Amino acid sequence: MNDRSNILLTPAELEAELRAIGAVRYHHLHPFHRLLHGGKLSRQQVQAWALNRYYYQAMIPIKDAHALSKLHTSELRREWRRRIIDHDGDTAGTGGIERWLKLAEGVGLDRAYVESTEGILPGTRFAVEAYVNFVRDRPILEGIASSLTEMFSPDIIADRVRGMLQNYSFITEDTLAYFTPRLTQAPQDVDFALAYVKAHALTRADQEKVLAALRFKCDVLWTQLDALYLAYVDPGMIPPGAFVPG
């Protein structure tokens, strides 16, 4: 806190502060991602990533349902429910979760094992549940702000798709089909969420909560990669009960 800490930020200043958080805390900076995109991981390590990240994907609509329950106009709910539709699809076999399962199968995992989530790291489970609980338990302004990591996702997705296709013989465009719609969905979601926090964070205290919510969400993403790194990269300490690559 400096001497400007009680002065209301303009909407543009608030956005700049949000972007500054992403620049230092978003998980594109995590060593695991550099290894993943750079082709430095084994197929088994990519499996561990796909398996654990599935739990995050699978819980996103639950998180969004909690958000939906706090939006008190049809207009807002129509906007937010698009996220749930994106993940759950319109019919069986469509939607983001289904596409993630195809990615997991594409890297050689058994679909039912992935869906069971029984092999995920406890660190994954605790981080993802922290996110769901945050949106459930906090005011909607903070819940919406916590979604703003998507401001930073198009870049990482483009890097990831390019890097993984180039570097892994076992990865095809089909396997990565999850990411293609995200490149258009995420910016659309961000436009709404960013406009919402700019319009509704009208005290410095609320602006600080918005910034804290984004930091929290960066921690949720970072911690998932920390858990993967410790268990499957270095030093390779897999906790009792978690996925042991075959």
Judged by the rule CB under 8 A, the positions of this chain that interact with its own copies are: 24-25, 29, 31, 122-123, 125-127, 129-130, 133, 215, 218-220, 222-223, 226-227, 229-231, 234-235, 237, 239-241
Pick 101 or 221: Cβ nearer its own copies: 221
Three-state SS for 79-136 is HHHHHHHHHHCCCCCCCHHHHHHHHHHHCCCCHHHHHHCCCCCHHHHHHHHHHHHHHH
Nearest to 195 by CA among 2, 11, 1: 11
Contact 31, 230 (CB under 8 A): no
Query: Which is nearer to its own copies, 42 or 133 (by Cβ)?
Result: 133
Give min distance, CB of 112 to its own copies, in A. Answer: 16
* Torsion region of 108: left, alpha or beta (phi above 0 gives left; psi -120 to 50 gives alpha): left
Contacts of 89 (CB under 8 A, 6+ apart): 95, 96, 97, 98
* For its own copies, the closer CB: 24 or 112: 24
Q: d(Cα 188, Cα 25) in Å, to the nearest integer? A: 22
CB of 230 to its own copies, least distance (A): 4
Nearer to its own copies, 77 or 215 (CB): 215
* Shortest distance (Å) from residue 134 CB to its own copies: 10
Of 88 and 208, CB closest to its own copies: 208
Pull the structure tokens for residue 82.
């698009």
Shortest distance in whole angstroms from residue 143 CB to its own copies: 16
